[in-house]
Structure 1
């Protein structure tokens, strides 16, 4: 197992997965190129992320693809929705932890839908929020 670390969290990756980072997003992909996980973290400057803010981020997706279900991923809680769009199978998590909003998207070709689901779930279950000692 390898570890990927952002400013706010740490996640473990199996050896067959790799991570790249651009300005705001960490992209995790498997060696077979079947699909990829994109994780974006936003930090609220004042106060914690509340239910209304979380639902605002989901707005368009829920309008277009139906209701999201409550979920918990490691220390984070929020919503999960799965849908198909433009030939892709998409799974999205809208999660929060204190003042953090963590947006996670897994996408793959519709023909490969479900192939990596258990691996993706196992990876996401390893996410660990780093607590800032100054807060």
Structure 2
């Protein structure tokens, strides 16, 4: 299987360039691996463009024997409720949280644009994993 991933958060060119300079000064590496090295450095959390406003991704796996689409709809409702219940007075001035759903090879990914307390939500939804500043699988193909 071949997969293509995108970061859920924009990367900082300046931070990545500085990290690359440090790597180049600290030790030798094969220059033919430069594109892979740059991509790996850019993917690091510290090289995110804006580390205070990171998007989060919830990895939603199907539950055998249950309807995945209705289960996902219930999760999205609980997600919005969990966000609302953890708002403070400061948060009330922010725009409503948006959640975007993407199909993945093994289920769904839900990307949200605001951070909040997810402990109770994840205790209830054991088939969901929170991934902070991760990669989203946007394309895949199987060689049959």
What TM-score do the two structures reach when normalised by structure 1? 0.40
Q: As a proportion of its length, which structure holds more helix?
A: 2
TM-score scaled by structure 2?
Answer: 0.38
Larger radius of gyration: 2
